[in-house]
């Protein structure tokens, strides 16, 4: 029942967004709706951890601990983004950037986008998984090109073309998986729950080739380098609440898809094959993003490259393939989602107040936007893995796991690159946040809904240290289950 509520609320809200005349009411409805979704997702996670997988509608929906975890992460970021949208869209309308009518389009697309993201971890059929992920691309392309400027349309075009090509390779991989399943003499099926238990009898060579296609295909969507080229454009040009969704959770849905196939590979071919590939893409992503972060001048692009970095860290976590590393990677998926959406909200406020993206020309944010400034200062430390914030905990888990595992080179590389990225972030944000207020810039108030979204995310960043001892067992249990498939 909880699953149906989670999937139905976005659809109902999309319908409401088209019908309700006042955009303010739509915004509040959205926030309330996603608050319910958030509660339901917590219930769902508890239920699944306690009593095992849920199947619905003749195996169409299959929710195990992994899916429930991803649904929870998505619902956290979606709720924050819905809250933040209220103030952000109102401001855009007041400034005349978008019309009242276009705000309706925004809310409709926003809800459809959320629906497609919730669908990804919920479906059982691997073909439907592909359809759901392609749906997220098609819907969010409009949200990337929403402002209809030259830059945003260019970003949307690159996004839709590169991701569509990537995802076609993923479809090829999916068909190869189904081929491996069908030649093993079993009944034709694309259901994950049918494939995973018999993975060990599938043809190893075909599985190997299929997984490369899957990794390249969904890896494009996940922003793994070197298939990441669309990401900085799309994430920097999208509407700010959507940037948060793209960076915070859309990338994670692709990671989810990779993990689903990864589990079959681990059982069918052995974990070394999966781990080595993940490790390779993880390290490449980390190194490439570090280079671009150092030379970046654009605020939102800086954050987008940081997403590639964090996806790299997550991939390395799965690549190490020990319970500790997987627990760290899962935790990092959550932490990065929370912190990155906080940062994109902050960046959205800065860009809308200063009307520019270039970090070299933005000064005195703390004076112009006191609330956002302070939150961004904390967020900047949190994002770069400074203790006591949550990202620190998950990063240190992965680094410890690397040391324990004996991968000293990986651990050293992580420490070095994270140090460099920390320096680049503090340098850029220090310049932006402090300094004098530019001439002729008035200090304006910030909308309440945005502030609530900030505080909600901030409390999640800080609370982890307190909650961790209580959820430690659940987390390790989840990681352990993942190891066994």
Partner 1 sequence: MHEFILFGILATTYLMVIAKRVPALIRSFRYQSFFIFLVTLVAGFTEKQAALYFIALLILVLKVFIIPLALEWIANKINVDENLGLFVNAQLSLAIALVLTYGSFIFSRSLGFAKDYGLVAVTVAFSVIFIGAFLMISRMKAFSQVAGLLVMENGIFIFASFVSGGMPFFVEIAVFLDVLVSVIIMGLFVYRINKLFTHIDVNKLSRLRG
CB-CB contact of 152 with 237 (8 Å): yes
Angle formed by the axes of helices 65-94 and 100-122, nearest 10°: 170
153 binds partner 1 (CB under 8 A): yes
Give the angle 77-361-244 at the CA atoms, nearest 5°.
Answer: 10
For residue 223, whether the previous peptide bond is cis, meaning omega lies within 30 degrees of 0, is no
Closer of 127 and 323 to partner 1 (Cβ):
127
Q: Can you tell me which of 5, 7, 46, 164 binds partner 1, judged by CB under 8 A? A: 164
Shortest Å, Cβ 56 to partner 1: 16
Closer of 5 and 131 to partner 1 (Cβ):
131
Shortest Å, Cβ 158 to partner 1: 7
336 binds partner 1 (CB under 8 A): no
Stretch that binds partner 1, among 142-150, 255-263, 269-277, 384-392 (CB under 8 A): 142-150
21 binds partner 1 (CB under 8 A): no
Cα-Cα end-to-end distance for the chain: 25
Kindly state the tokens that stand for 261. 């196939």
CB-CB contact of 460 with 390 (8 Å): yes
Binding mask 219-238 for partner 1 (x = CB under 8 A): -------------xx--xx-
CA distance 253 to 158: 20
Q: Can you tell me which of 142, 371, 422, 434 binds partner 1, judged by CB under 8 A? A: 142
| Residue list 294-333, contact with partner 1 (CB under 8 A) | 295-298, 301
Stretch that binds partner 1, among 73-81, 160-168, 266-274, 390-398 (CB under 8 A): 160-168
CA distance 333 to 311: 8
Q: Can you tell me which of 112, 176, 290, 293 binds partner 1, judged by CB under 8 A? A: 176
Give the containing element (helix H, strand E) for 54: strand 54-56
- Give which of 236, 373, 229, 379 is closest to 300, Cα–Cα: 236
The structure tokens 């899916």 sit at: 67
Closer of 41 and 237 to partner 1 (Cβ):
237
Shortest Å, Cβ 71 to partner 1: 21
- Give which of 423, 331, 339 is closest to 375, Cα–Cα: 339
Q: What is the DSSP string of 43-94?
A: HHHHHHHHH--EEETTTTEEE-HHHHHHHHHHHHHHHHHHHHHHHHHHHHHH
| Residue list 108-127, contact with partner 1 (CB under 8 A) | 125, 127
For residue 388, whether the previous peptide bond is cis, meaning omega lies within 30 degrees of 0, is yes
55 binds partner 1 (CB under 8 A): no
190 binds partner 1 (CB under 8 A): yes
Closer of 237 and 394 to partner 1 (Cβ):
237
Shortest Å, Cβ 179 to partner 1: 4
Shortest Å, Cβ 44 to partner 1: 25
Give the angle 369-370-373 at the CA atoms, nearest 5°.
Answer: 80
Q: What share of the chain is helix, strand, coil (3-state, %, to 5)?
A: 80, 0, 15
DSSP 8-state secondary structure symbol assigned to residue 223 = T
Residue ranges that bind partner 1, judged by CB under 8 A: 125, 127-128, 130-131, 134-135, 138, 141-142, 145, 148-151, 153-158, 160-161, 164-165, 168, 171-172, 175-176, 178-179, 181-182, 188-190, 203, 205-206, 209, 232-233, 236-237, 292, 295-298, 301
């Amino acid at each position: 029942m909880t699953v149906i509520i989670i999937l139905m609320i976005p659809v109902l809200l999309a319908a409401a967004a088209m019908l309700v005349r006042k955009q303010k009411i739509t915004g509040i409805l959205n926030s309330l709706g996603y608050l319910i979704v958030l509660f339901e997702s917590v219930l769902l996670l508890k239920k699944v951890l306690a009593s095992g997988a849920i199947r619905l509608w003749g195996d169409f929906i299959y929710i195990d601990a992994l899916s429930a975890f991803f649904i929870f992460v998505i619902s956290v970021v979606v709720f924050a983004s819905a809250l933040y949208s209220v103030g952000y869209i109102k401001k855009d309308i007041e400034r005349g950037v978008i019309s009242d009518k276009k705000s309706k389009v925004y809310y409709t697309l926003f809800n459809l986008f959320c629906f497609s993201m919730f669908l990804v971890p919920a479906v059982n059929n691997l073909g439907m998984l592909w359809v759901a992920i392609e749906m997220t691309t098609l819907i969010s392309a409009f949200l990337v090109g929403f402002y209809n400027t030259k830059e945003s349309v260019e970003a949307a075009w690159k996004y839709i073309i590169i991701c569509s090509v990537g995802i076609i390779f993923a479809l090829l991989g999916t068909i190869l998986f189904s081929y491996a399943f069908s030649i093993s003499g079993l009944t034709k099926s694309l259901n994950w729950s049918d494939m995973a238990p018999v993975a060990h009898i599938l043809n190893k060579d075909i599985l190997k080739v299929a997984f490369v296609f899957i990794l390249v295909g969904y890896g494009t969507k996940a922003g793994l380098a070197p298939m990441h080229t669309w990401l900085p454009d799309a994430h920097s040009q999208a509407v700010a609440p959507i940037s948060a969704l793209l960076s915070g959770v859309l990338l994670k849905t692709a990671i989810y898809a990779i993990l689903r196939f990864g589990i079959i590979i681990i059982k069918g071919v052995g974990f070394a094959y999966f781990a080595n590939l993940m490790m390779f893409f993880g390290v490449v992503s980390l190194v490439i993003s570090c280079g671009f972060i150092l030379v970046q001048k654009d605020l939102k692009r800086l954050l987008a490259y940081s997403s590639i970095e964090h996806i790299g860290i997550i991939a390395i976590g799965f690549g190490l393939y020990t319970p500790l590393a997987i627990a760290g990677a899962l935790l990092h998926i959550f932490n990065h989602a929370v912190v990155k959406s906080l940062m994109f909200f902050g960046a959205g406020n800065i860009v809308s107040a200063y009307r520019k993206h270039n970090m070299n020309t933005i000064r005195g944010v703390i004076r112009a936007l006191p609330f956002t400034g302070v939150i961004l200062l904390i967020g900047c430390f949190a994002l770069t893995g400074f203790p006591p914030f949550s990202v620190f905990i998950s990063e240190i888990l992965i680094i410890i796991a690397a040391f324990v595992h004996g991968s000293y080179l990986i651990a050293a590389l992580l420490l070095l690159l994270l140090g460099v990225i920390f320096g680049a972030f503090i340098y850029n944000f220090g310049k932006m946040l402090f300094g004098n207020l530019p001439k002729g810039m008035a200090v304006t108030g910030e909308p309440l809904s945005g502030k609530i979204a900030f505080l909600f995310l901030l409390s999640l960043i800080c609370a982890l240290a307190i909650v961790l001892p209580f959820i430690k067992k659940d987390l390790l249990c989840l990681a352990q289950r993942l190891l066994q498939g």
